Amino acid sequence: MGLLSKIKGSEDIKKLSISELPALAAEVRKLLVDGVSRTGGHLASSLGAADLILALHYVFDTPRDRIVFDTGHQAYAHKILTGRADKFHTIRTHGGLSGFLKRYESEYDAFGAGHASTALSAAAGMAAARDQAGGHNRVVAVVADGAMTGGMSWEAMQNVGHLGTDLLVVLNDNQMFISERVGRLGHILTKMLTMGSVQRTVRKTEIFLGRFPHWGRRIRRIIKRARVLFFPGMVFEEMGFSYFGPVDGHNLRELVDVMGYIKDVKGPVLLHVVTTKGRGYEPAEDSPVQFHGTPKFDIETGEPSAAAQSEKMPPTFTAVFGRTLVELAKKDKRICAITAAMPEGTGLDLFRDAFPGRYYDVGIAEEHAVTFAAGLAAEGMKPVVAVYSSFMQRSFDQVQHDVSLQKLPVVIAMDRAGLVGEDGPTHHGVFDISLFRMIPDVTVMAPADENELQHMLATAFACGLPALLRYPRGRGFGVPMDPAPLALPLGKGRLLSRGRDLNFLAIGNRVHPAVKAAQLLKGLGIDAGVADLRFVKPLDAELVKELAQAGPVVTVEDNSLAGGFGSAVLEYLNASGVEAKVLRLGIPDSYVEQGKPEELYSDVGLTPEKIAAAAADWLAKRLQVK
């Protein structure tokens, strides 16, 4: 039996000697690679953080001491070491472990982590609550360097520095974006600076100099600036943090030693740890971007499994977006593209390679991305911001105030709309229609398939208005692709078939399932038609009114029913005085957990079979009432 079989939490880890920790870390990494190869998931970041997480649980008294992670990409080792190793093979599967941190999954998950740049704010709140209660537990925020590009992280940093509360921030730097100084000198300086005698001497010197308001203040500034010259943490020191590091994030003895030194240092502390993404698995070390979020793969080769790499499968919506954008940009030099640190995930890597001078990566800063785009548009450019739907929630104010209010023609391409699958509720894009259709002077579109996507992107640039285009994760429906993208008539849907008994009003990637549902209903003797509305805003009022007056209609969408597409239809019919029989199908008023998309769409009643069953049952009840 290995060491891991004996580990259920922090107390079990503490029973090991420091010399045994590397062997435990190797077992954790082996389980990581084996598990993610079977389910897919965020591998490279979790491999890189494994030693760091092991050291944290070895030094700190978790779960009493709170460890708050920024996103769950780096925290798989945390799950394995806190009693969930035997369930790790279920990660990101239907009914299994979440791929992110969840408070209701384990007492060790101090705070839910799905989106970036939240750990510092949450940890600051926990530290303040501890202080209010007179507690003595420690609070640690583990922040990946990418999350430090988010404005929320810096807002929290200045607040913590002002409060002066006891809080340790561990900066997990896997890009060496601050300094490369990882070696004996760095270790010696860090150890010296964390020694209690040095800390006490510094405090006594500051108290003494504080007695002399005129020249003492100047000398204190000089001493502080001289001190920070020895290491690269001046910006953190200026914000009120005691900076230590950088240290080698894969040297467990050094990590344990340093954390042991600094865990009792008073006030805000920042420990800079340098790690390597993909550590311990060569393919992930060689291709950390590919293994940041990977599908199932063959462990021996690192290549995606056969099921994930069939060349005969339809292109992904993301790929169609990327190719179409490049095609349009070849004809219009004003088109430029913006990403919030997700070029590959959003398909903008194609644009980046083709037009590097018109490509902007602003880091994990969705709010800035949108207002930056507004500035570009104000000067005559045609910017597109490509971002995941669930991340666009952060930019509601910017869309409303900086884009819509000024009627600036910014295109926002929202990838991962609808139920994204294994990443679960932190990443499902099921609120964007509800959020953005309320804003005046915007266009909101959702393509039924990959061919319609290319035309809608052309429409977004041509309409001259703020345009939000939402489309799902994954592959298209295999429809024929037109030779070139062309702008569609604004606010006009298309009637695919007309039904005598009822008609489906569908939007986005639920159009094709609605077509199949109509076919199933015909087998039950129910004649059902389907309309692809295409536009949530402006709504095709003529088509909606025509079908609603003809008979019962069923709206179908992959957005929340609260405020979604179906609500827009009801609002229009009510305002127009049209008496209509309407059934709305969509995402219920609850969070949807992780699983394969087909499993989740079945859970919420949005597969062709369940759409047909719901419509038939509703229609039968209406006839009984009559």
The listed CATH number (3.10.20.310, 3.40.190.10, 3.40.50.970, 3.30.1360.40) that belongs to domain 317-472:
3.40.50.970
Pairing status of strand 335-339 against strand 242-248: unpaired
- State the span(s) of the chain assigned CATH 3.40.50.920: 494-625
Cα gap 15→231, rounded to integer Å:
35
Q: Which of 472, 448, 445 is nearest to 461 (CA)?
A: 445
Asked if omega into 246 is within 30° of 0 (cis), the reply is: yes
Cα gap 436→441, rounded to integer Å:
10
- The structural architecture, per CATH, of the domain 4-286 is 3-Layer(aba) Sandwich (3.40)
User: Which pTM does this prediction carry?
Assistant: 0.86
Candidates 279, 358, 366, 510; catalytic one: 366
**Burial of residue 267 (number of CB atoms within 10 Å: 0-12, 13-18, 19+):** middle
**Which pLDDT score, from 0 to 100, does residue 312 have?**
72
Cα gap 533→394, rounded to integer Å:
27
Taking the chain (626 residues) in runs of 10, the rounded mean pLDDT of each run is: 89 96 96 91 91 97 96 89 95 92 94 87 96 96 84 91 94 59 42 49 57 58 53 73 89 95 94 90 87 86 71 89 98 97 94 97 92 97 97 96 97 97 94 97 98 98 97 96 97 98 97 98 97 98 97 98 98 96 97 95 98 96 69
Residues 6+ apart with CB under 8 A from 348: 322, 325, 337, 339, 342, 359, 386
- State the span(s) of the chain assigned CATH 3.40.50.970: 4-286, 317-472
Residues 6+ apart with CB under 8 A from 544: 505, 533, 553, 569, 572, 573
In three-state secondary structure terms, 556 is strand
**Which pLDDT score, from 0 to 100, does residue 202 have?**
54
Q: Evaluate whether 259 touches 67 at the Cβ level (below 8 Å).
A: no
Bridge partners (DSSP) listed for residue 503: 529, 553
Sign for the CA dihedral angle at 91, 93, 99, 104 comes to negative
DSSP symbol at 551: S
φ/ψ (deg, to 5) at 35: -65, -45
Candidates 29, 66, 92, 277; catalytic one: 277
Q: Evaluate whether 83 touches 15 at the Cβ level (below 8 Å).
A: no
Candidates 263, 358, 382, 394; catalytic one: 394
Q: Evaluate whether 485 touches 324 at the Cβ level (below 8 Å).
A: yes
Crossing angle of helices 184-194 and 196-209, in 10° steps, is 60
Cα gap 469→442, rounded to integer Å:
11
Distance from the Cα of residue 106 to its chain's centroid: 21
DSSP symbol at 98: -
Cα gap 608→591, rounded to integer Å:
22
**Which pLDDT score, from 0 to 100, does residue 221 have?**
59
Asked if omega into 483 is within 30° of 0 (cis), the reply is: no
The listed CATH number (3.90.420.10, 3.40.47.10, 3.40.50.920, 3.30.70.1150) that belongs to domain 494-625:
3.40.50.920
User: Is residue 537 annotated as part of the catalytic site, yes or no?
Assistant: no
Cα gap 182→185, rounded to integer Å:
8
User: Is residue 27 annotated as part of the catalytic site, yes or no?
Assistant: no
User: Is residue 277 annotated as part of the catalytic site, yes or no?
Assistant: yes
**Which pLDDT score, from 0 to 100, does residue 568 have?**
98
Cα gap 269→120, rounded to integer Å:
12
Which DSSP helix (H) or strand (E) runs through 524?
none
Bridge partners (DSSP) listed for residue 144: 172
**Which pLDDT score, from 0 to 100, does residue 268 have?**
96
Bridge partners (DSSP) listed for residue 495: 531
**Which pLDDT score, from 0 to 100, does residue 315 have?**
95
397-403 LR contacts (CB < 8 Å, sep 24+):
397/367, 398/367, 398/370, 398/371, 398/374, 399/370, 399/436, 399/439, 399/442, 399/466, 399/468, 400/439, 402/370, 402/371, 402/374, 403/370, 403/373, 403/374, 403/377, 403/442, 403/466
Q: Evaluate whether 482 touches 455 at the Cβ level (below 8 Å).
A: yes
